Structures are given as structure tokens and as C-alpha cells.
Structure 1
Amino acid sequence: MHPVRVLDFRGTYKGGGGPDKTILNSAVQHDRSRVYVQVLYLRNPADTEYSIDKWAADLGVNYCDVMDRKLIDRQCVRDIKKVIQEQEIEVIHSHDEKTLLYGWMIRRAMPYIRIMYTCHLHSPYVRKDFESLTAFLNFKLRRKVNILLMKRYHKPLLAVSHHTKQCMVADGLREEDIKVLHNGIDIDAWRAELGRAVLRNELGIKPDEFLVGTVARIAQQHKDLPTFYRVAAEISRTMPKVKFVIVGDGHGDEMAKAKRRVAELGVEHSFFFTGHRTDLLDIYTSFDVFLMTSLTEGLPNTVLEAMALRVPVVSTAVAGVPELVDHGETGFLSPIRDVKSLSGQVVRLLENPALREEFGQKARKRIEKDFSFANRVRRMEDYYEYFANYRSR
């Protein structure tokens, strides 16, 4: 039996995020006797900081990208069809709104193609989560289109957490049509002993000082970084030796706005922004505590990475995070926007090195037991073979 020929299909910007780690690293680790993967990305020609291509080249992935110039770019769709024909693709694996739409358009012209979809994030946003009614209505329209397309795709649909599945069902999809495939992490590559605490040296963090950090794009609304800033201000009042850092970039003037907000809270001398970094092993190794203040998530790669590297986690108890972090065992969980609770949990860890060590060790064991990336890749290969043989059933 020949390997299933798959187009792993994604749209993003700049250096990518959690789903991109999953896609590119999966392409490296797939058993090539079972699956041939061609990674294809939609690329905005105006994005001068796009670097997925360099990342893919470093990993040795079969990669190409096509220019996507507008909301519905028919030339882009034609370019994708050409790749599908040249590579003799059997299964398209979509990962986001745009590739969900383009996958449907392609299958109308190429009905022999099998389409599968992984939902990485399905946030239950409401009106108060948006600055304007127009933005909320645009979200509702996109969500309605996405649900209609998912109903027309081959089943099962994949969700990265049980919470993501529940949100999809709440929006009208059938529970029996959705399977959960948790994200995973390469437990051999993500080991604490491979990292160096370079960020502490770069930022001038003294041996008797602590560093609390997160990894997130500044512009991502669901990360709720304003709460992270307020936690920093709360802790700094009584613990001036605690420093805070956000590792990630932002659109336009988002970074400048973030720095102004930190200055308004009076913690600019204890707060750092590094911009985009790729040396994440060294970044996490520099943290004493990883803090995530998100309003919603799928199953965040950042928490997987921190736990794999034995960094104790404090996070909001959102979406799939409680499926990963056991409160009081491998980390601490708090309600969203609860600055007092988040601050208290960070302080408790900082004041108790034995507890930090205990949480870190237990977190690593949890990752090794339940979130191995190699196991995830084998299950994904099973799904690819299932979809490739869909017609024969």
C-alpha cells in the first residue's frame, strides 16, 4: 500500500504560533512509509516579516507557500490546485478559517479530494469581548460560515481539547462527529538540561531575583495581557525583586501601547518585552514561573512547553488548560481576570522553592505519560489512512 499523500494546509503571519509548531514538527516525524506530507501555507504578500519558510527549511520539511492577496483570492485557489495535482494529493488537512473555506472551494472542483479539519481554537466569544458591535457581528458571520463548512466536511472533525469539542457542539455540530486529539510535545527535544538561562543574563536578572514570564503575541486579544500587567503591578508592591517578561511580537503599534500600559501601572522598571524569539528552550529555562492569563485557549503549546521543561505553571482555568494542568499538583489554576488569585499563586511558588521543584517534576511526568508528540503523530497517521480510504467504505 502506498503512503497517503497529504496536503497540510495553513494560513498565518510572521513567525507562526502553536498550530504551526504542530504542523511543521509533525511533517518531520511522520512515518514516510505511511504518509507523505506536503506543507502548504497561505502567505500575505504584504507581510515582510513572514518566516515560516525559513523555519520549514531548517527542519527539512516539504514546504511551499502561495500568495493570498484578498478575502477570496481565486488565483490563490488555482495555485493550490496546481500543487495538489503535481503532488498527487489525496487528503487536504485544514487548520483555520481560511483554509477551511479554500478546502471546500477546492473540493467542489476536485471531488475526489478528501478533506479533514483540525480545530485549534473555537472561542465562545460574546458581545462584551469586542470593542465594537461591527467587530462582534463580523465574528458572528465568520463563525456561522465556519460551522456551515464544517458540517459539509468529512467526519470526524478533530478538536485539540474536550473543551474545544464542547464549544463546537454548542454551535450546532454533532458530538459524534468530533474526535479529540490533544496537542503533544517532543519529550526528547524539550528537556530542561538542553536549555541555558540566557534571558536572565540578557535582562540583567540577579541571582537573588525572580523572573516570571509568558510567551505570547502582544496583539492576541484572547491572551488578556492587561491582566498579566496588573498581576505584575500587584506583586511588585511587596516583592520588588520579581521581574516580568513577555516574549512575543505584535502588530503595528501594539508593542508601544503595551509598554505605555506597563508604564501607567508603574512597573516599567521591572518589566521587559523581548519581541519575537526562536530560542524557546533557553527562554523557558530562564523562567522561575510561567504565567498565562488567557481568556480562552485550545490546548496551549506554551503550557506544554513550560511543563515539559519543569517550569511551574500558573494559569487561568480556561478551555483545555484544566485537561493539562492538575490544580495543586502540576500547577495552579485561577478564574479569568482574577488578579488577586493569580498574584497569590505566583507569590506562593516564588516563596517556596521546594514547591516549585515538586510541581516541575510532576508536570514533566504528566507530559511524558499523556502528551507525547510521537504518540500524537501515530494517531494522526491513522486518521490520514482513514480519510484516504473514505470512498471505499
Structure 2
Amino acid sequence: MLAHIGSDMKIKVLYVITKSDVGGAQKYVHDLATRLNREHYRVSVLFGGDDIYWLSNKTYPWLLFFNDWIAVFELVFAYRSKRPHIVHLNSSKAAIVGSLAGFLYNCASRRKYRLKIVFTAHGWVFNPTNVVSPPVRLLYRVLHTIAAFFQHSIITVSEYDREIALRYRIASDKKIVTIHNGIDPDMLFLDKDTARKKIVKKLPTTNYRARRIRQLAEKSQLPTNTFWVGSLGRLTREKHYQLFIDLASHFPHLLFFIIGDGPEKNRYQACITHHQLYNFFLVPSTGEDSQFLLAFDIFVMTSVKEGLPYALLEAEAAGLPSIVTRAGGMPEVVQDQHNGLVVPQRDLQALSRALALLTDDQELRIRFGKAAETIARTTFHIDSMVASTEAIYTSLASNL
């Protein structure tokens, strides 16, 4: 199989990712790096800012992208030091910078085989529904098209993203393959009562209703029939949690929660305060937020741009009925009227109707929840994701 590197030698895979903080791409890299077959693979990971100092999502066009050019040469030296057989890039910036670095490395290398470049797109920046401006989308479309010349395989985490890449002619259909994100369906969740108590302890004391809920929890008198609607995720513009906040104003008798942190936290909190929403709470992330999912009766995601969110897969594994917007790969997970409801983006009326339907129909919630568990276990299993990715590595290694 490995004619040039020796059949008894392990394939060295180097993962490169822009940020080391918690997010979908970071979880993806962690899962692959820890689950690849150690008999066949040797794995290392480089993080932007930590290992590759100048690799970041920051861009300085008025300074001729000086940080990105420095990152390119940092990566060239890293490739020379690590001497991987395959470099697997994650995030748009890592894809562009890392692919150019791979090309330069191959040009300068005297080795018999060429470094192979794999890129996983966790949702395209040039997605037409993304919140960035049209010029930025066009710039990334051009850059990804150029980078694709140096990439040997492109993985998309949803069919939606693959179709976008083909529509914009980023690369040929032979180079682009869809491998859905996967999770361990046997992951552990706290029971409903414990999860709710732990969430309540994190609520701010500045909110009157939050103080009242905390007092009831401390006395073990937290109402069990109160309906909780929740979401997990980074507080970013593309998650469009503004719609979720607006939804809460139409259902004052329900409690709404987002567990997560991010750059838009202060703006969302200001909006909650401005509208005097005493039934909406932002809960700080613990880094292991999926354990709290059973606290919720319904899971909601209101994104305008997604890849294939792990939080949604985890909600499916928890057996929660879900309401999601038609963004990215989410409709590939939530099949409308089967394991949840799918609504148009930015449509408050449709979202309100969906929530009203689920809150009023317990049998429907139960049916959706059972179907969700089945889908998580059969279609989005982590073992399938790892095996499909290993198949790509093996194919590339056979041509070394």
C-alpha cells in the first residue's frame, strides 16, 4: 500500500487549525486526532496563535496581509520539522495559508514523495446566507478556488456545503467528498433534575426571575412542569440568536436558555435587558455543555450559516425534539416532521408556530425525540466519520 514510505511505517498526519478554543472545528480535530488507528497513524496538531504564532482569523489588507505571509513561512518550517505525509487543514484561513505553505514545501523538498493536503470545510465563508459582506464572500471564494489547486482532497461536513462548492466551481466533484460530523451516541447526560439545578446555579443574580428560580432550586422546590427551551452554541452573528430572543417575547410563560460564550454576548444581553425579558437567560459555557441537554424540553437553533453543528447532533443523541432553521447541513440532521421541525431563516412567525405546535403536543415531542435518537445512532456515528476519513488518508498515502 505505501510503496515509498514502507508498508511497516505509520502514516504521519498533521492537523492545522486556526484557533485552540472550543468550537465545532476544534472538536472535529480532537475526535479525529484521538480516534485514528494508532497502529497505522502518527498524529500531531498545530494551533494558530500557540504553535503557529501568526496564524489567526485576523486580516490586515491595508498592510498587504503581512501576518498571513509570515504564517505561510511559519508553516513551511513546521512541515520541514514535523515531516508529515498528510497535512489536514481546518478553518478557511488555515486552508488558504496552509495550502500555499504545502505548495512551497513541495517545491523545495527533495523527498521522493509529495506532501498531501486535505482540507475540511466546516461551512464556507462565501455561503450566500452568511452575515459577512458580499466583497468578503467574493474574496474568500476566489482564495478558496486558488487554494483548491494545492489541495488533494476537500471534505465538506454536509451535502449543502458540497453543492455550494460545486456551484461556485471551487474544485472538481472528484476532489470534494461529504463526510458528516459524527458523535458518540452513548455519551453521558445529566438527568433532567440535576441538569436544571446545575444550570440554575449559574444564573445571574441581577435578574429577579433568575433569583426566584435559584431560591426554589436551593429549597428543592423547582417546578418540574415548567417548559424549558434551550440552545447550545457560541454567541456569534451567524448563530443569529437575536431571533431566539425575539421568540421568547412571544412565549412569556416558557423559560429560554442559551448555554455558551462568544463575541456577541454583551449585545445579546443588552437586547434581553432592553426588552425586559425575564424568561431568557444566557448561561456561561463550561466546555462540556452537552451534559446539560436533558434540562431542555425542546432544542432550538436559529442560525443563518452552519456547517453541521455538533450541538445539534448531541441534542439528537439526547432524544430532544428540535426546531432548526434551513441553514447549512441542519436539514440533513433534522428531517422536517420526522425528528423535528425545519423553518425558514429569519422567520419569526414560522418559528413561533413551530414552537407552539411542539409545546401543545406531547405525543409529537415524544415521537420526534425517539426518531432523533435513532438518527444520531445510525447516521451520525463517530466511528463512521473516522472510518471515512481514514479511507481518504489511505487513498492519498497509496500515491506517496
Q: Give the TM-score category using the shorter length.
A: 0.7 to 0.9
Indicate conservation of the 8 Å contact 1:93/1:115, yes or no.
yes
Cα gap change, 1:159 to 1:265, in 2 (>3 Å): same
| Residue matched to 1:257 | 267
- Equivalent position of 1:222 in the other structure: 238
Whole-Å separation in 2 of the counterparts to 1:196 and 1:32: 37
Change (3 A) 1:213 1:128: closer
Aligned to 1:41: 47
**Code of the aligned partner of 1:117:** F
| CA-to-aligned-CA distance 1:81-109 (integer Å, 9 cap, x gap) | 44433433110011122211222232233
User: Once the two structures are superposed, what CA deviation does each residue of 1:341-386 show, in whole Å capped at 9, x if it has no partner?
Assistant: 2122223222333322221121111111111101211111111121
- What's the CA shift for 1:209? 1.2
Q: If the length of structure 2 is used for normalisation, what is the TM-score?
A: 0.82
Q: CA deviation at 1:187?
A: 1.7
Match of 2:24 in 1: 18
User: Separation in 1 of the partners of 2:372 and 2:190?
Assistant: 12
Partner of 1:55: none
Within the candidate set 157, 160, 163, 1:163 is matched to 160
> How far apart are 1:16 and its partner, in Å?
2.4
SS at match of 2:250: helix
Q: Secondary structure at the match of 2:229?
A: strand
Please name the residue that 1:384 is paired with.
393
Q: In percent, how many aligned pairs have the same letter?
A: 24
Instruction: Pick the aligned partner of 2:282 from 251, 265, 273.
Output: 273
Task: Flag the structure with larger Rg.
Answer: 2
**Which whole-Å CA distance do the structure 2 matches of 1:171 and 1:335 have between them?**
23
1:244 aligns with 2:235: no
Task: Determine the C-alpha separation between the residues in 2 that align with 1:336 and 1:76.
Answer: 36
Count of residues in correspondence between the two structures: 357
The offset of 1:124, in angstroms, is: 5.0
Distance in 2 (CA, whole Å) between partners of 1:275 and 1:358 is 31
Q: Does 1:348 align with 2:348?
A: no
- The separation in 2 between residues aligned to 1:195 and 1:40, in whole angstroms, is 40
Distance 2:116 2:199 in 1: 48
Match of 1:103 among 89, 98, 120: 98
Assess, with a 3 A threshold, how the Cα gap between structure 1 residues 128 and 363 changes in structure 2: closer, same or farther: closer
Give, in whole Å, the separation in 1 of the partners of 2:288 and 2:159.
Answer: 31
User: Which of 161, 186, 189 is the aligned partner of 1:188?
Assistant: 186
- How many Å apart are 1:76 and its aligned residue? 4.1
Cα 1:195/1:5, change in 2 over 3 Å:
farther
Q: Displacement of 1:193 after TM fit?
A: 6.3
The within-5 A match list for 1:273-312 is 273-312=282-321
1:25-51 C-alpha deviation (Å, 9 max, x unpaired): 22111111122111111127xxxxxxx
Residue 249 of structure 2 aligns to a residue whose secondary structure is: helix
- Determine helix, strand or coil for the equivalent of 2:38: coil
Report deviation, 1:314: 0.6
CA distance in 2: counterparts of 1:327 and 1:123, whole angstroms = 26
CA distances 1:295-322 after superposition (whole Å, capped 9, x unpaired): 1211111110100111111111222112
Equivalent runs, 1:121-140 vs 2, <5 Å: 121-122=123-124, 125-126=127-128, 129-130=131-132, 135-140=133-138
Q: String of CA shifts for 1:232-267, please: whole Å, max 9, x gaps.
A: 11122xxx1x1111112122xx32221121233331
Does the aligned pair in 1 maintain the 2:230–2:300 contact within 8 Å? yes
Confirm or deny: 8 A CA contact 1:192 1:310 kept in the other structure: no
What is the match of residue 56 of structure 1? none
SS at match of 1:16: coil
Distance 1:356 1:260, change over 3 A: same
1:176 and 2:186 correspond: no
For 1:126 and 1:25, locate their aligned partners in 2 and report how far apart those are by CA, in whole Å.
29
Distance (Å, rounded) in 1 between the aligned partners of 2:104 and 2:347 = 50
Structure 2 alignment gaps of length 5 or more? 1-6, 59-64, 107-113, 204-212, 214-221
Match of 1:150 in 2: 148
Structure 1 counterpart of 2:3: none
Matches within 5 A, 1:311-350: 311-350=320-359
- In the TM superposition, what whole-angstrom CA distance separates every residue of 1:277-296 from its partner, at most 9, and x where no partner exists? 22323321211111101112
Structure 1 runs (4+) deviating above 6 angstroms are 192-195
Kept in 2, the 8 Å contact 1:192–1:309? The answer is: no
Q: Does the residue aligned with 1:235 lie in a helix, a strand or coil?
A: coil
The answer to whether the Cα contact below 8 Å between 2:179 and 2:385 also exists between their aligned partners in 1 is: yes
One of 213, 216, 223 as aligned partner of 1:206: 223
Aligned: 1:68 with 2:79? no
CA-atom RMSD in angstroms: 2.4
Q: CA deviation at 1:77?
A: 4.0
What SS does structure 2 have at the residue aligned with 1:33?
coil
| Partners of 1:100 and 1:149 within 8 A in 2 | yes
Shift of 1:213: 1.1
Distance 1:136 1:211 in 2: 37
Contact 1:11–1:41 (Cα < 8 Å) also in 2: yes
